[in-house]
Amino acid sequence: MGIGTLVAMLVTTLVVIGVLATQETYSLFLPGLLQGAWLTIQITILGALLAVVMGVLAALSRLYGPAPLRWLATVYVEIFRGTSALVQLFWLFFVLPQFGILIDAFSVAVLALGLNVGAYGSEVVRGAIGSVARGQWEASIALNMSRAQMLRRIILPQAFVAMIPPWGNLFIELLKSTALVSLITLGDLAFRAQQMNQTTLKTVPIFTLVLLIYLVMSLAITIGMRFLEQRASLGLARGRSA
């Protein structure tokens, strides 16, 4: 599906939300849901940044780090891939205070979701680096590049293009996982919807709006990642032709 189609879907969804907002049944709930959506967006953005940093660091540590770093990176990846994001969220929020470590709910949400997605992202980075043609490595060695130069100038720019689609999928998963933070008292989109539904029992308008708002955010991520992929591929093609 091309960017044009995705943009058309995004615009259509926004128009539908706008039309529904003109109806009293829906307009009553939209402002509160948008406040929750803003918190969801903040958690998603910060969690995504943390995930990328941890994913890259863990992948490079496992590939090229000394033994202690490789061991730490492996432990991190296996723990956060092998346990539930919900359990990780609860552990950071409810268990750490038992050891005198107090973290506010917002920071816990960013940490838990960012570290969880970063563990999966590390495998994306590792696979993308491994997918670079062996001839590129050999050419870098022939040019007498250090490993750092090789990665920075030759390998990572090519691997970056291969990383973008799976990272886009992970960011969408992160967005959907933000619904879990309602269980640690954060007033995100899912939390606001549950509260409104419990007090008004207007299930259809509330969760119709929630579905559409999540779709808007998901489409925005997909469009952004597709655009980034196109630009990165174009830049790589220019570099090869040069």
The domain spans of the chain are 3-233
Report the predicted TM-score, pTM, of the whole model to 2 decimal places. Answer: 0.89
Q: How far is CA 137 from CA 101, 107, 149, 160, in A?
A: 45, 40, 11, 16
Is the confidence at residue 233, as pLDDT, over 80?
no
pLDDT for residue 148: 77
How far apart (Å, rounded) are the C-alpha atoms in residues 90 and 103? 12
Banded model confidence at residue 236, pLDDT cuts 50, 70, 90: low
Is the confidence at residue 69, as pLDDT, over 80?
yes
The answer to whether domain 3-233 has CATH 3.30.230.10 is no
